[in-house]
Amino acid sequence: MAVIKFFLSLCLGLISSQLFAAVLPDDQADVLYHRYEGGGITVDGPSVLVRKGYKDKISAWGNYYTDSISGASIDLLAQGSTYYEEERTETSVGLDYLHDKTIMSISATNSSERDYEANSFALSLSQDFFGDMSTFSMNYSQGNDEVRQNIYEDGSIVETIDRGKARHQRFGLGLSQVLTKTLIISANAEAVIDDGFLNNPYRSVRYEESDGTLGREPEKYPETRNSDAFALRGMYYLPYRAALRAEYRIYRDSWGIDANNWELRYIHPIQQWTLEAKVRGYEQSQADFYSDLFPYADAQNYRARDKEMSAFSNQAFGLGASYDWQQTYLSWADNTTLNLYWDFIQFDYQNFRENTPDNTNEYGAGNEPLYGFGANVIRAFISIKY
Amino acid sequence: MRCIIRLVLLSLSIGLSACSIQPWVQSHERAQLADPIMAFEAHPVATRYINHVYEAREAARGAEGSAGGGCGCN
């Protein structure tokens, strides 16, 4: 028995030494159904990822993803609309190239909606060093968007207006470090620089007219936004076969928003199952130019009433299960897993009010109940490695 | 950007200081680190989606790790 244990540990050591040298991801195909339901809207659709390598040097991948959006958010209800449908399609392709201990990656993405077109590319480089205990990575991406606005009459689009272009650039650095036989940490920093038309052309802010009634005018955001985010993550192997993952991220941007989030995950394998439980917390301050109710028209150069620009917090709880399916239907598959993940996120807004027409009539503008909602997020997918 | 430059300098100093010390966890001692349950993100397609949800509903973005965001949508 001791001999078997010795050989097992030796084999695992050999496998792990390969895993901790730079290697390309496994050949695999993932077919995912995703669903987000909360705040009056439902967003669901498929995501299909296929990855195939060649001679352990090159790995190419493609991803097809759609969002089907339906319902009426609080913004739509506040403006008297009742229902909305939209579809977004995203297609990505990428290539990873391995040379010695270096992986170079390039990818391109197109995202298309009736009123929004986005094209982006990304470059990244990662290098193992220090006996493969450390991995340094850097990435750059640039997205170029065309923002349009559809004009509706009787539920049909009668005209589309070009509203402007937006450019998003990301500069990222990462360092992962093996600390002990059971602990690995990862530090990431990323700067994001946005410029161009950055607000939603459909959303308006509300202000008080001199006669006491409510007026509306379009949101207006600054044309630049710079942000820095820093994250620290750790994976710890517990004294029995289970893992603990911890994460903390801080964020600050030039619009005055400070945010931070933390997350804890517990991963526990039982025979063919891998179970996961997660808790996460997030909080942010408001943007400098956000107000739930402006005192008069054109009160500021920049103005926002997007709930994502307000001060709020959310708490999430998640459960997941992955089943290692020993199927024989697909002879070419090495490993097949069936996966189901469910997250519940509770959003609580501190200065964004639920300004439906009924609430405003009942409580008065600026005195409506603060908004909050719960969202369910489902990820169900099959993952096949071959 | 200044913070990023500081981090690069810190990384370089760590890298240079590492020249004088040897790796203290050998390859054959990494069996537990190599266990699939120790992957930071076991399922990239699922991670990418949940990061997309966070980015659509929160102002913060960036430093997501290997499956970063950038949703290209409004």
When pLDDT is cut at 50, 70 and 90, the band that residue B73 belongs to is low
Predicted TM-score of the model (pTM): 0.90
A6-59 per-position pLDDT tens digit: 333 334 333 333 445 689 999 999 999 999 999 999 999 999 999 999 999 999
CA A96 to chain centre: 22
- State whether residue A145 sits within 8 Å of chain B by CB: yes
Cα–Cα distances (Å) from A345 to A264, A297, A322, A342, B54, in that order, read 15, 35, 21, 10, 10
Tokens, residue A292: 């739930």
When pLDDT is cut at 50, 70 and 90, the band that residue B9 belongs to is low
pLDDT score, position B17 = 56
B25-38 per-position pLDDT tens digit: 998 899 999 999 99
- State whether residue A382 sits within 8 Å of chain B by CB: no
| Minimum CA–CA partner of B39 in chain A | A235
Q: Which residues of chain A have pLDDT under 70?
A: 1-21
- Nearest neighbour of B62 by CB, restricted to A145, A190, A287: A190
Q: Smallest CA–CA separation between B15 and chain A, in Å? A: 8
pLDDT score, position A1 = 44
- Chain B residue numbers touching A143 (CB-CB < 8 A): 70, 72
pLDDT score, position A9 = 39
User: CB–CB of B3 and A230 under 8 A?
Assistant: yes
B13-64 per-position pLDDT tens digit: 665 555 578 999 998 899 999 999 999 999 989 999 999 999 999 999 999 9
Query: Any idea what DSSP says for residue B34?
Result: T
Query: Chain B neighbours among A 196-215 (CB < 8 Å)?
Result: 200
pLDDT score, position A5 = 40
The residue whose two tokens read 């997501």 is: B64
pLDDT score, position B65 = 83
- Nearest neighbour of B25 by CB, restricted to A12, A111, A181: A181
User: CB–CB of A49 and B44 under 8 A?
Assistant: yes
pLDDT at B7 over 80: no
pLDDT score, position A321 = 98
Q: Which amino acid is at A181?
A: K
pLDDT score, position A3 = 40
User: CB–CB of B33 and A181 under 8 A?
Assistant: yes
- State whether residue A190 sits within 8 Å of chain B by CB: yes
User: CB–CB of B23 and A130 under 8 A?
Assistant: yes
- State whether residue A365 sits within 8 Å of chain B by CB: no
- State whether residue A103 sits within 8 Å of chain B by CB: no
The 3 state secondary structure assigned to chain A is CHHHHHHHHHHHHHHHHHHCCCCCCCCEEEEEEEEEEECCEEEEEEEEEEEEEECCCEEEEEEEEEEEEEECCHHHHHCCCCCEEEEEEEEEEEEEEEECCEEEEEEEEEEEECCEEEEEEEEEEEEEECCCCEEEEEEEEEEEEEEEEEEEECCEEEEEEEEEEEEEEEEEEEEEEEEECCEEEEEEEEEEEEEECCCCCCCEEEEECCCCCEEEEECECCCEEEEEEEEEEEEEECCCCCEEEEEEEEEEECCCCEEEEEEEEEEEEECCEEEEEEEEEEEECCCCCECCCECCCCCCCCEECCHHHCCEEEEEEEEEEEEEECCCCCCCCCEEEEEEEEEEEEEEEEEEECCCHHHHHHHCCCCCCEEEEEEEEEEEEEEEEC
Closest CA to A21 of A139, A132, A100: A132
The residue ranking higher by pLDDT, B68 or A300, is A300
pLDDT score, position A14 = 37
Q: Smallest CA–CA separation between B73 and chain A, in Å? A: 7
User: CB–CB of A16 and B1 under 8 A?
Assistant: no
pLDDT score, position A13 = 38
